[in-house]
Amino acid sequence: ARPRRAGKMAAAGRAWRVAALLPAWRLRAPGRAYGAAAGGGGGGGGRLLLGAAFALGGGAGLYLAARQRLWEHSAAELPAGSLQLTLYQYKTCPFCSKVRAFLDYHGLPYEIVEVNPIMRKEIKFSSYRKVPILLANAGSPLQLNDSSVIISAIKTYLISKRNSLEEIVSFYPPMKTVTEQGKEVFEYGNKYWLMLDEKETKRIYPVNEVRVEEMKWRKWADDWLVHLISPNVYRTPREALASFDYIVREGKFGTVEGFFAKYLGAVAMFFISKRLKKRHHLQDDVREDLYEAVNEWVKAVGKHRLFMGGSQPNLADLAVYGVLRVMEGLEAFDDMMVHTKIQPWYRRMEEVIQKAEA
């Protein structure tokens, strides 16, 4: 059965979807730490308490409320021998949302495995311990990591039939780097490139500027836009508590679980959002950074294009939409719609993806 689209979810679903944003980012983004590790530091009961606050407030609430690990996302049936896809995700993660937006727009059927962000048993098969992970079978099984690599590799495969998916993925080798904290991580330096020959490139990008523009804004979505979500969602104690209040009232929690999710989780996320505000040099009112960012995007799209891709979305459109929609149903999203010029573009994106899914 097809799950309801993210843009049309009930208020409770929207709330718990946003509640797990921070831990999802921490586990996902190579080379960038978006928050303290759940339960990290200290010992004994204090460590367990802090871990519960982060985990319930940041992902386990989603798992407990939903009570389901796997469902099928159906789409238009593809010819025999087509891609068989399984997406391992946190539904709340903006990087996972980007991948879903891409797959939905291209009408690709896929299964979703919702990962428990505390135990992560669902991805115990993988040495790569982050999400999203996409398992793809186009004749042989293959694991794809990193949201932008997933999107670039699958898009290349859809356009070009010269290489197998395995060969295409080999064009995106992980490179080991060291963070400022001295931690070794893997990054993908060419993850915004589509690996096409000259003829294919001309067909997709009639002029080079189109390609450069798409890559620039895909990177912008990863490097800047995602950093604005958590500080805005948990901007005030009231906003933080409102998100977790939805989780508790609409989910299936015991007394202790509900307490941690609603109160300790909200408090933890509120203070972490302040750390992120400082880390990314945001303004005192973080809404202003959000407003400036989305208006910058709208200006880049321009008045004479429906999308940055022209009459249809390109990969930059899908990336920005995927990141922004994780705020739906919360005050930050409503404020963004009222105080910026994003709404016409955003509604067009909703409509075109809905048509692709039909």
Catalytic residues: 90, 93, 95-96
- DSSP string over 17-69: HHHTHHHHHHHH-TT---SPPTT-SS-HHHHHHHHHHHHIIIIIHHHHHH--S
Pairing status of strand 175-178 against strand 184-187: antiparallel
State phi, psi for 71 to the nearest 5 degrees. -145, 160
CA atoms within 13 A on the CB side of 191: 20
CA 308 to each of CA 7, 33, 106, 165, 237: distance values in angstroms, whole numbers, following the listed order: 20, 30, 17, 27, 36
Helix (H, G, I), strand (E, B) or coil at 114: strand
- In the block, residue with structure tokens 């429906």: 306
**Residue among 338, 342, 335 at smallest CA distance from 321:** 342
Separation between Cα atoms, residue 65 and residue 60, nearest integer Å: 8
Counting every residue written for the chain, the total comes to: 358
